[in-house]
């Protein structure tokens, strides 16, 4: 992991903690169950199977128009290949694994075919308990499969900032492959591979991808997601 990305991570960690302490904006946004999800009436009109992207600001496309975020880019690929799925971007800036777990019941109203799980970066930046992260992600996957036994999963891995210590980093990064194996999920070892640390692929904060960065993320994700959908 590059020094540029790590510096950005440290800056974001401090700003996130300050925001939570003084105004609670990140937590409030993450706790809205309807955040990032189409209105029920609109969803009811489209009965296509859903590819759900459950994640953070990375999934939401922070700082970019929604059509430049990687879920929308995946939707364009599906359309080009004539694959009839509906993309739902349920990324929420500042969301943690606990926030995603709280939002899940709302999301399970839709006919899910694939769940792309991108959560944990904010848990890491806040130094939250790794055991709780594992429990939350496991609960999301388990409850989703309980509602849709034929659902397929893509688990997107994340790296830990080294300021949290080698032990924390080891335990944090191990959560993703362990869950992917447990739930027979397709696995992306590092969603930001080829993007993290590249100034041309990230916004000035050093954390959130540019439009070019999102195109690279979509390419990385498609290697696992594409075969599931064809």
**Which of the following is catalytic: 13, 57, 97, 201?**
57
Q: Is residue 208 flagged as an active site residue? A: yes
Contact 48, 79 (CB under 8 A): no
3-state SS string over the chain?
CCHHHHHHHHHHHHHHHHHHHHCCHHHHHHHCCCCCCCCHHHHHCCCCCEEEEEECHHHHCCCCCHHHCHHHHHHHHHHHCCCCCEEEEEECCCCCHHHHHHHHHHHCCCCEEEEEEECCHHHHHCCCCHHHHHHHHHHHHHHHHHHCCCCEEEEECCCCCHHHCHHHHHHHHHHHHHHHHHCCCEEECCCCCCCCCCHHHECCCCCCECHHHHHHHHHHHHHHHHHHHC
**Which of the following is catalytic: 123, 198, 201, 208?**
208
**Which of the following is catalytic: 46, 67, 129, 205?**
205
Q: 52 has which bridge partners?
A: 88, 115
Q: Is residue 214 flagged as an active site residue? A: no
Would you please indicate which residues are annotated as catalytic (active-site) residues? 57, 205, 208
């Amino acid at each position: 992991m590059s020094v540029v990305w790590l510096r950005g991570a440290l800056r974001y960690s401090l700003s996130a903690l300050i925001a939570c302490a003084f105004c609670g904006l990140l937590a409030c946004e993450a706790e809205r169950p309807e955040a990032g999800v189409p209105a029920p009436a609109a969803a009811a009109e489209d009965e296509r199977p859903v590819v759900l992207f459950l994640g953070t600001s990375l999934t939401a496309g922070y700082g970019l128009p929604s059509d430049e975020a990687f879920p929308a880019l995946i939707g364009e690929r599906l359309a080009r290949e004539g694959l009839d799925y509906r993309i739902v971007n349920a990324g929420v800036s500042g969301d943690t694994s606990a926030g995603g777990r709280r939002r899940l019941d709302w999301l399970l109203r839709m006919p899910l075919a694939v769940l792309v799980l991108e959560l944990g970066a904010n848990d890491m930046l806040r130094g939250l308990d790794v055991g709780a992260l594992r429990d939350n992600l496991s609960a999301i996957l388990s409850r989703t499969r309980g509602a849709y036994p034929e659902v397929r999963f893509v688990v997107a891995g994340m790296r830990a900032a080294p300021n949290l210590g080698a032990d924390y980093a080891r335990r944090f990064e191990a959560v993703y492959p362990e869950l992917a194996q447990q739930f027979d999920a397709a696995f992306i070892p590092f969603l930001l591979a080829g993007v993290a640390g590249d100034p041309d692929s990230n916004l000035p904060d050093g954390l959130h991808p540019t439009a070019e960065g999102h195109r690279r993320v979509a390419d990385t994700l498609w290697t696992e997601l594409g075969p599931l959908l064809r």
